[in-house]
Structures are given as structure tokens and as C-alpha cells.
């Protein structure tokens, strides 16, 4: 498989297709960290990521240049403390209905994500990233492993409810997602009661989602990429894509067309703690808040879900050729 370049105007973790084995790391920095110390830390992380992407990481356990995507993002508290030139939209999320957040699994000064084709490779890169960043003064706040099922090229991976997830995404290059070459990440760790959902009859699951289980097509269409028509009605006046379905309540049409780029991975930490690592890239986390408020109140999926951790962060512009992340800070 082809290597993914580390350098570029925008970070590969947003631009490139999702690789199946991912790791999220949240680091905290000492209270006296200044901009220079942050730049040193980001340079250390960049060095590992650039070498990994080019197959030049000195590690006997790795061969070749395994495809690697990554991103580095800065939490709102650190951005404020250091008066960094973050987008003005960068802010913590308000408390949302139904939240059951564990602070030990969320937030953080610096969020790193590294994804490869194999848990083995992702684990080794994680070791190197942690060694380099803790040597530069950071401490690990939390980490989270995620995965995707084996998915043929060009097809949409399924989540633990068994539905295709990521169909209606915008093009990652869509200018509406970006602040110059940076963007904002919203992360939510969402526990899913997969057994209870699987016990529903297929048609109930499809009505809850607003899409077909097998093809991923919207209930108003026949093919996966048909546009969901949230206004189509049955002769009795009810909506074909039901009023409480996930696809209706998350539809960009209810937000004046504003969109987010979703990048979900599944996680499986214990038999009773499995679900979705929901990552969304967007210009303004207020969009997430509006959508999630509707979902928490009315979505037919909500009884099967619990949001257990949360983070927001400024995804830095990419590293220019020969340069490192965070150079302009």
C-alpha cells in the first residue's frame, strides 16, 4: 500500500481516507509551558510522524513505509492560556442533555491521533510518540484505541450497530470545513448498547436510522449515495424518513446546510463498554452542539447510547515540506 505523505498544507488525519487501526492520545502540558516549549513538543511529535510516514523510523519491528495518517490538535484551555492564533470558534462544548462524561477520558492540552493499517503498527508508533512527547515534558492524560471492520476499497465501513457510517460526508476539501488550513475537532466517546439494538426487528432499526441496513440507502432512495429526502411523506402524512430518525435529526438541512466531516472508529474496551469514537471536523463546534441537542432529545438511537467522554481541539495546519507542525505559533 502507498505511503501517505506527512507534509502538506493540511494534516493527513483529516484529508486522507480512514485507516482501520487508530489511537488517540491526549497529553497535558506543565502549567508553565510557554509557546517555545509547545513548539519544541510539536517538533518532537512531527519528527516521529514524518519518519513513520516515510518509513524512516528506526525500529526493527517495522518494515517499509506503512501508510500512516495523523493529526495534532490543541485544546481550548491551552490555546487561551498561550493566546494562540486559534479560530475564534474554538471553545469547550456546553453541558449537553444526557451527557455522562468521565473527565479522565476527555479533554487535554494536546490531542494526537495516529492511524495505520494494523494495530501492531499503530501501537509501535504510539510508543515512539509517547517517548518523544514525554521527554519534552508532556504527560499522558488518556488514550483510546479504535478500529474499523475489514472493508473493501471504496466502500463505507460499518459501525457496531451494523450500519454503514460515513455515507453522507462532505468532501474533506470542502472550504466550509476549514479555517485556512486548520479546522476544529469534536471528539465524543459514545457507548452503544449493541445487543439491545440488535434485538430490534430489522425494520425498526431501519426506521430509527432512516436508512436501509443492507445497502445503506436512505428510506427515500434505492442506492447508498442517493440524497435523503427528509421532506417526503407517506399518503397518511407521516414522513418516510421518520421524525425521530437519526438521518432526519442530523440532516444539514435543519442547520441551513452547514456540514461536518465525520470520521468514526469503533472501540471495544470491555464487554459492556463498546461503541463509537465519534470524530467530527467542522468550522464551528456550535454546529455539533445544535445537532447533538436535537439527537439527545428526540433521536430513536438515543435510548441505546451514552456519551461518556468529550473533547474539542484546534486541528493545526499541516507541516510544510521540510517543516514541522506548529511552526507558526
> Nearest distance from residue 254's CB to ligand HEM, in Å?
10
Site for ligand HEM (CB under 6 A): how many residues?
A: 29
165 is catalytic: yes
Binding status of residue 246 toward ligand HEM by CB under 6 A: yes
Cα distances (Å, whole numbers) of residue 225 to 167, 211, 229, 313: 7, 11, 12, 30
- Asked if residues 67 and 49 have their Cβ atoms less than 8 Å apart, the reply is no
Residues in 215-244 at the binding interface with ligand HEM, rule: CB under 6 A? 228
Cα distances (Å, whole numbers) of residue 132 to 45, 48, 121, 136, 179: 6, 8, 17, 6, 29
C-alpha grid cell for residue 16?
A: 486522507
Helix (H, G, I), strand (E, B) or coil at 241: coil
C-alpha grid cell for residue 50?
A: 514524518
Binding status of residue 16 toward ligand HEM by CB under 6 A: no
Binding ligand HEM (rule: CB under 6 A), the pick from 119, 166, 172, 323 is 166
| Residue 46: partners with Cβ closer than 8 Å, 6 or more residues away | 6, 72, 319, 324, 325, 326
x/- string (CB under 6 A) for ligand HEM, residues 256-295? Answer: ----x-x------------xx-x---------x--xx--x
For helices 119-135 and 35-54, the axis angle rounded to 10 degrees is: 150
Q: What is the largest CA-CA distance in the chain?
A: 66
Binding status of residue 247 toward ligand HEM by CB under 6 A: yes
Binding status of residue 11 toward ligand HEM by CB under 6 A: no
> Nearest distance from residue 195's CB to ligand HEM, in Å?
14
Residue 50, CA atoms < 13 Å, CB-side half-sphere: 16
> Nearest distance from residue 95's CB to ligand HEM, in Å?
15
> Nearest distance from residue 277's CB to ligand HEM, in Å?
9
* Choice between 105 and 128, CB closer to ligand HEM: 105
Binding status of residue 14 toward ligand HEM by CB under 6 A: no
> In the chain, at which residue ranges do the beta strands (DSSP E only) sit?
21-28, 69-74, 110-116, 139-147, 183-192, 261-262, 265-270, 273-282, 305-315
* Choice between 180 and 215, CB closer to ligand HEM: 215
Per the residue annotation, which of 28, 107, 165, 299 is the catalytic one? 165
Helix (H, G, I), strand (E, B) or coil at 195: helix
Residues in 94-153 at the binding interface with ligand HEM, rule: CB under 6 A? none
Binding status of residue 310 toward ligand HEM by CB under 6 A: no
Contact stretch for ligand HEM (CB under 6 A) within 11-19, 23-31, 93-101, 158-166 = 158-166
* Choice between 42 and 192, CB closer to ligand HEM: 192
Contact stretch for ligand HEM (CB under 6 A) within 64-72, 200-208, 250-258, 311-319 = 250-258
DSSP result, 125-151: HHHHHHHHHHHTT-EEEEEEEEE----
| Residue 314: partners with Cβ closer than 8 Å, 6 or more residues away | 73, 74, 75, 76, 79, 84, 86, 87, 90, 182, 184, 185
**Which residue is it, cell 440532516?**
251
- Asked if residues 239 and 248 have their Cβ atoms less than 8 Å apart, the reply is yes
Residues in 177-206 at the binding interface with ligand HEM, rule: CB under 6 A? 188, 190, 192
Binding ligand HEM (rule: CB under 6 A), the pick from 142, 161, 178, 281 is 161
Residues taking part in catalysis = 165
- Which residues here bind ligand HEM, judged by CB under 6 A? 159, 161, 163-168, 188, 190, 192, 209, 211, 228, 246-247, 250-252, 260, 262, 275-276, 278, 288, 291-292, 295, 305
Amino acid at each position: 500500500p502507498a505511503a501517505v505523505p506527512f507534509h502538506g498544507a493540511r494534516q493527513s488525519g483529516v484529508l486522507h481516507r480512514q485507516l482501520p487501526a487508530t489511537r488517540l492520545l491526549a497529553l497535558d502540558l506543565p502549567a508553565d509551558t510557554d509557546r517555545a516549549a509547545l513548539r519544541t513538543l510539536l517538533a518532537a511529535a512531527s519528527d516521529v510522524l514524518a519518519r513513520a510516514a516515510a518509513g524512516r523510523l528506526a525500529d526493527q519491528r517495522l518494515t517499509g513505509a506503512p501508510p500512516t495518517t495523523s493529526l495534532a490538535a490543541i485544546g481550548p484551555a491551552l490555546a487561551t492560556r498561550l493566546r494562540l492564533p486559534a479560530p475564534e470558534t474554538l471553545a469547550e462544548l456546553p453541558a449537553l442533555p444526557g451527557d455522562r462524561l468521565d473527565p479522565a477520558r476527555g479533554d487535554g492540552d494536546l490531542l494526537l491521533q495516529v492511524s495505520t493499517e494494523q494495530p501492531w503498527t499503530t501501537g509501535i508508533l504510539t510508543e515512539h510518540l509517547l517517548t518523544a512527547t514525554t521527554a519534552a515534558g508532556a504527560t499522558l492524560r488518556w488514550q483510546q484505541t479504535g478500529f474499523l471492520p475489514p472493508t473493501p476499497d471504496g466502500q463505507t465501513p460499518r459501525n457496531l450497530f451494523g450500519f454503514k457510517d460515513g455515507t453522507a460526508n462532505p468532501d474533506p476539501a470542502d472550504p466550509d470545513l476549514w479555517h485556512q488550513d486548520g479546522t476544529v475537532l469534536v471528539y465524543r466517546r459514545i457507548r452503544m448498547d449493541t445487543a439491545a439494538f440488535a434485538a430490534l426487528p430489522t425494520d425498526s432499526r431501519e426506521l430509527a436510522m432512516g436508512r436501509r441496513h443492507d445497502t445503506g440507502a436512505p428510506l427515500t432512495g434505492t442506492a447508498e449515495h442517493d440524497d435523503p429526502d427528509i421532506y417526503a411523506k407517506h399518503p397518511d402524512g407521516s414522513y418516510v424518513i421518520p421524525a425521530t430518525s437519526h438521518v432526519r435529526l442530523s440532516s444539514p438541512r435543519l442547520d441551513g446546510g452547514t456540514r461536518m466531516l465525520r470520521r468514526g472508529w469503533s472501540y471495544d474496551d470491555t464487554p459492556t463498554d463498546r461503541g463509537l469514537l465519534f470524530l467530527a471536523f467542522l468550522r464551528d463546534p456550535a454546529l455539533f452542539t445544535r445537532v447533538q441537542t436535537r439527537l439527545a432529545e428526540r433521536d430513536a438511537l438515543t435510548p441505546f447510547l451514552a456519551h461518556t467522554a468529550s473533547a474539542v481541539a484546534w486541528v493545526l495546519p499541516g507541516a510544510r515540506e521540510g517543516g514541522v507542525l506548529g511552526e507558526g505559533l
